[in-house]
Each structure stands twice: as structure tokens, then as C-alpha cells.
Amino acid sequence: MNEFPSLTKFQELLEEIIDEIPSEFFNDLSGGIVLQDQIKFHAESKPNQPICIMGEYHRTVLGSQIKIYYGSFKRVHKNIEPQDLYEKLRTTVIHEFTHHLEHRAGLKDLEIKDKKRLESYRTK
């Protein structure tokens, strides 16, 4: 059984992924990417089938930011192989960057897709 990486090691994985991302993607991401220690549940989570939020893209009057939730990753992927964890984290970071880039382009395709997935969850 694999031991989930510490917060420090997880931060190092995140930084490796961030280093792969073209610098232009960071335009208007004034708050950068922030690693949060906690587990974050979706507001509509069902007690018997919770939705852990792995990452979020936030837009405020002060700017935009991506948050990654270490606690959520640890809860959902506690026994994952290191390479698989890297890919899950990378997928989450890219997903949140897609929200950022679509916002900058005036698009909402991923937002609509996420809403459809939530609607499917609600009806289960």
C-alpha cells in the first residue's frame, strides 16, 4: 500500500506541473495557484456520496486564482500510485486553467460541462 505524500511533497508535485505550463496561461491569474490543506466538499454533496472538490478557479474583483485542495486529494486518492497521483493532479490543474482561459476568451464550455455533471449527480 502506498503512503500518500506529505503536504510538502505534494507541493513539489504541484510545482513540477506548474513549471510545465506556458507562462502566457498565467496572464490575469493575479492570485496564482494556491495549495490549500483542507478537504473541500461541494455544497450539494450527499452524505452517503460526497463530492470532494479537488480544485477551483475563483474570479473576484481583486483578480483570479486557482486553488488546489490537498485534503481532498488525500481523501479521494489515499492509496494511489505516485505516477497516477501526478496525473490526477495535472488533470485538475489543467481543468482549472481551462476555466481561466475560457473566462479570458469569453467562453463557458467547461462551466456548462461541469454543471451537467452536477445535474447528473443530483438525479442519482
Our separate counts of H helices and E strands in the chain read: 4, 3
Residue type, 88: K
pTM of the model as a whole: 0.95
Q: Assess contact for 5 and 38: CB atoms under 8 A.
A: no
Where do the domains of the chain lie?
A: 7-122
| Percentage of the chain modeled with pLDDT above 90 | 95
CATH code of the domain made up of 7-122: 3.30.2010.20
Q: Which pLDDT does position 2 carry in this prediction?
A: 82
pLDDT digits (tens, 9 = 90+) for 59-82: 988 899 999 999 999 999 999 999
pLDDT digits (tens, 9 = 90+) for 35-55: 999 999 999 999 999 999 999
Is 70 exceeded by the pLDDT of residue 1? no
